[in-house]
Amino acid sequence: MLQAYNAAEAARLADLTAGISADTAAPLTVGSEAGAGEVAVEDVFRITGRGLVATGKVSRGVVRVGDAVSVIRDGAALSTTEITGIEMFRKRANEARAGDMVGVLLAGKNDVARGDVIRVFASA
């Protein structure tokens, strides 16, 4: 019974994968870097003399120091600002990629809260 099931399953999988080669298959990626970078905000705090820091995970794309970003809450853009610094595990970085846990220093006085999304402006 088990062999009959395995043979039937093997035939079904062979039919599904017919015509697919390693050259035509999509590459497997851990995190998507397509599109504008986004950071899902988990915590926010202020550093005297530096500004507002939003911590969270880069959910997609790449964020870089100098990127123009918008703060999104409930699907609406609240404000626009610029990333003036990025830190990962107490070390400064110039960029962060999907999956990285980061602290993002934002220019100016911004209304950012847990649950917001910091989204890089899509470049033309």
The helix or strand, by DSSP H or E, that contains position 14, with its residue range, turns out to be: helix 2-17
The encoded tokens of residue 71 equal 């703060």
Report pLDDT for 34: 52
- Of 41 and 6, which is predicted with more confidence? 41
Report pLDDT for 119: 95
Instruction: Examine the pLDDT at 107 and tell me if it is beyond 60.
Output: yes
Instruction: Examine the pLDDT at 95 and tell me if it is beyond 90.
Output: yes
Which residue in 33, 46, 35, 20 sits closest to 122, CA to CA?
35
Average pLDDT over residues 1-18: 67
- Of 14 and 118, which is predicted with more confidence? 118
CATH class, range 38-120: mainly beta
Task: Point out which residues pair with 62 in neighbouring strands.
Answer: 97
**Model-wide pTM > 0.75:** no
Instruction: Examine the pLDDT at 124 and tell me if it is beyond 50.
Output: no
Sorted by where each begins, the domain ranges of the chain are: 38-120
List pLDDT tens digits, range 21-53: 655 555 444 444 455 799 999 999 998 888 899
The encoded tokens of residue 42 equal 């988990």
Q: What are the angstrom distances between the C-alpha of 38 and each of 2, 56, 71?
A: 47, 10, 10
- Average the pLDDT over each of 6-15, 33-42, 51-60 and give the range with the smallest value: 6-15
Q: What percent of the chain has pLDDT over 90?
A: 56
